[in-house]
Chains A and B, each alone.
Chain A
Amino acid sequence: MTALTELTIAEARDALRAKKISARELTEAYIAAVEAARPLNAYVTATPERALEMARASDARLAKGEALPLEGMPLAIKDLFCTDGVPTSAGSRILDGFKPPYESTVTGNLWRAGAVMLGKTNMDEFAMGSSTTTSALGVTENPWRRRGDNCPLVPGGSSGGSGAAVAARAAIAGTGTDTGGSIRQPASFCGIVGMKPTYGRCSRWGIVAFASSLDQAGPMTRSVRDAAILLKAMAGHDPRDSTSAPNPVPDFEAALTGDIRGMKIGVPEEYRIDGMPAEIETLWQRGIEWLKAAGAVPVEISLKMTKYALPAYYIIAPAEASSNLARYDGVRFGLRVPGRTLDEMYENTRGEGFGAEVRRRILIGTYVLSAGYYDAYYLKAQRVRARIAADFAEAFQRCDAILTPTAPSAAFPIGEKQDDPIAMYLNDVFTVPVNLAGLPGISVPAGLSSDDLPLGLQVIGRAFDEETMFRVASVIEAAAAFKARPPFVAGEA
């Protein structure tokens, strides 16, 4: 039979219930894979003992025929989720030694659904980045390589650790968070599925905040079906998060009928941007053809405000971050670098605790909220945001889902764009508008670049209509039949 670490959640679920494998075997295979994947630096903390303990509990439930929805599924958890008694760093020095005495709602939901924690994964510091190179805990490598070139590539970011772990078969699936593309872009770079739910679908309680009005947790998996299964367990109303939606959580898996006949698929003309590689344009065209072949009707739509999305995002997100990150002051937890006065202690702690990108965004955010600049920047950006949401609302009058590329490029070498924040920010040009509008979006691996790197297509849905989005995504997945494997797979020397 296939190696245990090749199974999807759906396949492992069947095998476990049919008693062909045990949760313990599956978890042990993944614990070995986590070890083998060390060169990628995808994990910052491994929790093998906890994993085995959880697997034992899963086997006990399986034996009694009381299997839970995610029974025995070994997961990689982005280090932005607070995990009870397990170090949580957010990729930052400033959280040195921080072990939360509480469990985030989303991870708590996963454990209650029978899942197994393999460990915590690397990320850009405070989820600010698109490369997983800004972490205080080192750079994460993408398991993929360009054909004929061993130059290490970024896994994308900020959820690059989970992306690399899932792609390298060092976790059956993972969690990420997505503020401007931090799940979907690394999913595209790593050749996996990454999904950002509607804002409010997953509780933010216990997730280290970056930009509160944009942050959403979501699944990173090796199939669309797995994403649907994982999201079902992650989502749900949480009275501890005032922005969490009281909507019921549908059975997303049941939406995967493959039937998209008559569905209207929006194709936004504004997403044809200058400098986008022709092969991405071609892939996008192919995606449209696949959907057409399945009976859907492509519709040209216009999202006029698209070009203002990145500038608006880079005002709103840093503004919120500058305030959200004020609590890292050396007083109550994490790093403290002493000083002679309180102000000096703040300066020393925050100066040494935060990396360059985080400091840059705190400065931008502080600036745009300052007296005299608030109206010109923050308030204007909020107006742009409302217009972007209105653009989408108008487009969804004419279509049921929107198809775009996920990112304007494939994975790039570690170190590239490092000194050019604007070039780095451009990675998120197709994903950011979705966060600003609070909509669900999913990246599905759809093909390979000319040098054999994975490329993703993004399906965007209406708010709280993840079902339609999943259904379209599953059609892309089936048509693309993406079977390529990264050169680095854990345990395959």
Chain B
Amino acid sequence: MVPLIEGASGSWEVVIGLEVHAQVISEAKLFSGAATAFGAEPNTQVSLVDAAFPGMLPVINRVCVEQAVKTGLGLAAEINLVSVFDRKNYFYADLPAGYQISQYSRPIVGKGKITLDLADGSTREVGITRLHLEQDAGKSLHDQHPSLTYVDLNRAGVALMEIVSEPDLRSAEEAGAYLRKMRSILRYLGTCDGNMEEGSMRCDCNVSVRKPGAPLGTRCEIKNVNSVRFVMQAIEHEARRQIELIEDAGTVEQETRLFDAARGVTRPMRSKEHAHDYRYFPDPDLLPLRLSLEWVEELRRHLPELPDAKKARFMAAYKLSANDAGVLVSERASADYFEAVATGRDPKLAANWVMVELFGALNRLGRRIEDSPVAATALAELLDLMRDGTISGRMAKEVFAAMIDTGKRAAAIVEEQGLRQVTDKGAMEQAVAEVLAAHADKVAEFRAGKEKLFGFFVGQVMKAMQGKANPAVLNALLHEKLSS
């Protein structure tokens, strides 16, 4: 069902297309050997090519091409064996050559698709129009000096993949799901780190509204939104703005807008004096890019298992719910972690421990699963101690907390803190006898029919035994003693 927005004049459909700019993971830039690491001192990762010195020429970085093709394959897209680099011409201080090398009419990747995982557990397919390679620009720093602009060219020439979706998305939620899925796929492939805060993934949103069944409305483009949450807010606001505008007898002007995250609104970009005419033409410094089918097929053979396939396998092999499987596969690291824990163990239990205890702890610590203080093998050992009865589930949570704090192995903590569970009936008998003796009145009440006091006795014995009693053994023993 298509999600609609209610306006004063009835229901409206929102039509959204996204352009994702994903920074390619590569040691060197798209056309030069300069490094690409984030956060270096300004202008320390700039080659003469990046700074567009006279006579400098671009040479394509094979790794970037490989990354783009892998991404195309990951999006089930057509790979164009011949593609062309064009120059997109415009003047700006952080664009040293006065043109950006991009791909205009013949991109490296054509039509593909991506499957969205929606909140209700359903999925929906969205079309990818194209993916092309292009250079990033440098950065203009307007806040370093009262009247001057500084330019940092470290980013100039870094490879970007521009991934364009079909206008298939119908709500802010779907746009969010699209971005999360895109990021997940890119990270699985190792082609982009998907880090929107550092700007290695940015998004332009094309938004229009229409009455259901009507032709497409006029769209506005919201540039450079830098988090999934902001994308959703921006779309939500922009759709409502357009609906109100039209319902107030206004018309939507095709324009470029910016999202003001502080105020949660979109506003028109400062109007430029001149509309850009980019004067695209094939870059004469570069020959058309030709790929061999064998090379592409070789890359296809070495693609990792991607989130959709992994999710399906988790559901089938481990009998996980769509939601649990979806959560676990969203990051390759969590999926790998889960599998390491689940193999040879109860998968449901493993999923619960990973998703509840581990994710909860990581969240509190603000750490990523890649640098979790408890490795998958360590968590597996803990579950094994539970399975063989060494510790109870309740004790396991305590041990896990200690593992998170100290990084020690479960067995060591159990040993140190003497947490080994008591399963020997004989060892429990004294404690049971003492509790029953100390609470003779309650015993009488229990025997008179107040059966809910059973839990009280369990608690008292556990307390006396510092929680080490095996609950099943204790229950049996208590029943035996109370009924005698």
Which residues of A approach B to under 8 Å, CB–CB? 82, 88, 90, 95, 98, 100-102, 104, 204-209, 211-213, 239-243, 319-320, 322-323, 325-327, 329, 331-333, 342-343, 346, 366, 369-371, 374, 378
Taken together as a complex, chains A and B put the C-alpha atoms of A95 and B54 apart, in Å, by 9
The answer to whether A333 touches B53, judged by C-beta atoms less than 8 angstroms apart, is: yes
What's the nearest-Cβ distance from chain B to residue A322, in Å?
8
Nearest neighbor of B51 in chain A, beta-carbon distance: A332
The interface residues of chain B lying within 8 Å CB-to-CB of A366 are: 279
CB distance from A203 to the nearest CB of B (A): 9
Q: Are B279 and A90 in contact (CB under 8 A)?
A: no
What's the count of A-B pairs with C-beta under 8 Å? Answer: 98
Count of chain B residues with Cβ under 8 Å from any Cβ of A?
31
Query: Which one of A242, A322, A332 lies within 8 Å of B57 (CB-CB)?
Result: A242
Write the chain A residue with the least CB distance to B285.
Answer: A212
A323 with B98, Cβ < 8 A, contacts A90-B54, A207-B55, A209-B55 known? yes
State which residues 215-270 of B face A: CB under 8 Å: none
Q: List 9 A-B contacts (CB under 8 A).
A: A82-B54, A101-B48, A206-B55, A240-B59, A322-B279, A326-B98, A329-B93, A342-B93, A369-B89
Are B59 and A329 in contact (CB-based, < 8 A)?
no
Task: Judge whether B277 and A208 touch: CB under 8 Å.
Answer: no
Smallest CB separation, B244 vs chain A (Å): 33
Q: Assess the B60–A242 pair: CB atoms within 8 A.
A: yes
CA distance A258 to B92 in the complex (A): 56
Please give me the 3 A-B residue pairs with the lowest Cβ-Cβ distance, nearest first: A326-B98, A369-B279, A212-B284
A331 touches B54 (CB 8 A): no
Q: Is the beta-carbon distance between B279 and A205 smaller than 8 angstroms? A: no
Q: Are B284 and A242 in contact, CB atoms less than 8 angstroms apart?
A: no
Across the interface, name the chain A residue whose C-beta is closest to B149: A342
By a CB distance below 8 angstroms, the chain B residues around A98 are 54
Contacts of B48 on A, CB cut-off 8 Å? 101-102
Distance in Å: Cβ of B100 to nearest Cβ of chain A: 11
CB–CB A331/B99 < 8 A? no
B97 at the interface (CB under 8 A from A): yes
Contact call B287/A242, Cβ cutoff below 8 A: yes
Pick the most buried of B89, B92, B97, B279: most chain A CB atoms within 10 A of its CB.
B279
Query: Considering the chains assembled together, what is the distance between the CA atoms of A239 and B62 in angstroms?
Result: 13
Chain A interface SS verdict (over half): loop
Tell me which of B57, B96, B286 contacts A205 (CB under 8 A): B57
Complex Cα–Cα for A242 and B290 (A): 13
Q: Is the CB of A329 within 8 A of B55?
A: no
Closest to B99 in A: A323
Given A213-B284, A369-B279, CB of A326 within 8 Å of CB of B55: no
Given A205-B57, A212-B285, A242-B286, A332:B87 Cβ within 8 A: no
**For A332, what are the chain B residues with a Cβ–Cβ distance below 8 Å?**
51-53, 96
Is B295 positioned at the interface, with any CB of A under 8 Å from its CB?
no
Pairwise interchain contact B97-A326, C-beta atoms closer than 8 A: yes
Report yes or no: B52 in contact with A88, Cβ–Cβ below 8 A.
no
Nearest CB to that of B274 among chain A residues? A343
Is there an interface contact between A243 and B55, defined as CB atoms closer than 8 Å? no
Cβ distance A44 to chain B, nearest Cβ, rounded Å: 16
Q: Is the CB of A242 within 8 A of B285?
A: yes
* B57 and A100 form a contact (CB under 8 A): no
With an 8 A cutoff between CB atoms, is B199 at the interface? no
B471 at the A interface (CB under 8 A): no
Q: Which of A90, A320, A327, A371 has the most CB of B within 10 A?
A: A327
Question: Roughly how many angstroms separate A333 CA and B93 CA in the complex, as a whole number?
Answer: 13
Assembled-state Cα–Cα distance A441/B171 (Å): 63
CB distance from B434 to the nearest CB of A (A): 86
Which residues from 141 to 177 on chain B have a C-beta closer than 8 Å to any C-beta of chain A? 149, 151
- Nearest Cβ on chain B to A279's Cβ, whole angstroms: 38
B276: shortest Cβ distance to chain A, in Å?
Answer: 10
Query: Which residues on the B side are within 8 Å of A329 (C-beta)?
Result: 91, 93, 98
